[in-house]
Amino acid sequence: MLQQPAKPMTSIASPMVPQLRVVPNVPSEKHKKLLSELEERNRELESSTPEEIIRWGIERFGNGLTFATAFGPEGMVILHHLSQIDRSVHCFNLDTGYQFKETLELRELTKQKLGIEVELCRPDESVAEYEAANGGPLYQTNPSQCCFDRKIKVLNKAISGKTAWISAIRRDQSPDRAAAPIVGWDDKFKLVKINPLANLTKGDIWTAILDNDVPYNPLHDQGFPSIGCEPCTRPIQIGEDERAGRWSGSAKTECGLHSLDS
């Protein structure tokens, strides 16, 4: 009996395992060019006046430029400059629902005296809805989360479609702000950040306010040098740092808009 030739063994192929393609986070040539431009402009503008820096920002970014303000002394100085240079620049305020009534009244005064209407950008949830969803005021138990939900998320929406934003920070206000460039790339919010007042002092700001009759928050005359949300702001004592009244009793010093963490 003839033996049938053995059939060749059929190998069972292992299923193809897809390989994850790791794409390095390498800046595009366009972005590299922008970073190079910002580095050069930062050096050039370091000794420029706030007006000159703002004018450059308007000329460079046009309708892509926006300004976020909490109506502090520094913010009011920038609003004053914008009223003299270009009132059409988009300006907005992060209205958490917890702001002092004096702050909101200053918004109306800004419209009357400076001719600029600052847009109020609000979270999707009202204060009542937010507190109900979190079992009470979250600023009492987790202020950082509260700031994230009612400020950072709102800012991200407000700057959508924009290419640059103006900030009113000063380098001497806090450690996180000490290294702020005049102009640079904001990696947290993915757009250009312009700090026209970075190298000014508190004295410079108040000189500008008084010399130009710039409106300001009356709470500054009542011991509040830095004003944020009402529940998280107190007047400071003699000798305290100007931001000591913010989130008093905790290690928190920034809401997250200008902190170095990404």
User: 20 pLDDT exceeds 50?
Assistant: no
**Which residues does residue 94 pair with via DSSP β-bridges, in sequence order?**
121
pTM for this predicted structure: 0.83
251 or 144, greater pLDDT: 144
225 or 7, greater pLDDT: 225
Q: Tokens 């009534």: give the residue.
A: 101
Q: 3-state secondary structure string, 112-127? A: HHHCCCCEEECCCCCH
* Superfamily (CATH H level) for 30-232: HUPs (3.40.50.620)
pLDDT tens for each residue of 127-186: 999 999 999 999 899 988 999 999 999 999 999 999 999 999 999 877 778 889 999 999
Residue ranges of E strands in the chain: 65-68, 90-94, 119-121, 164-166, 183-186, 191-194
Is the CB of residue 36 less than 8 Å from the CB of residue 63?
Answer: no
Maximum pairwise Cα distance, the chain: 117
* Dihedral angle over CA of 150, 144, 107, 187, nearest 10: -80
User: 5 pLDDT exceeds 80?
Assistant: no
DSSP label at residue 203: H
> How far is it, in rounded angstroms, from Cα 73 to Cα 79?
10
Is the CB of residue 79 less than 8 Å from the CB of residue 115?
Answer: no
In angstroms, the first-to-last Cα distance of the chain is 80
Phi then psi for residue 191, to 5 deg, are: -160, 170
pLDDT tens for each residue of 193-225: 999 999 999 999 999 999 999 999 999 999 888
In the sheet that holds 164-166, the strands lie side by side as 119-121, 90-94, 65-68, 164-166, 191-194, 183-186
User: 32 pLDDT exceeds 80?
Assistant: yes
CA atoms 84, 87, 89, 91: torsion sign: positive
Catalytic residue annotation: 255
92: its two tokens: 């907005």
For 154, other C-beta atoms within 10 Å of its C-beta total 21
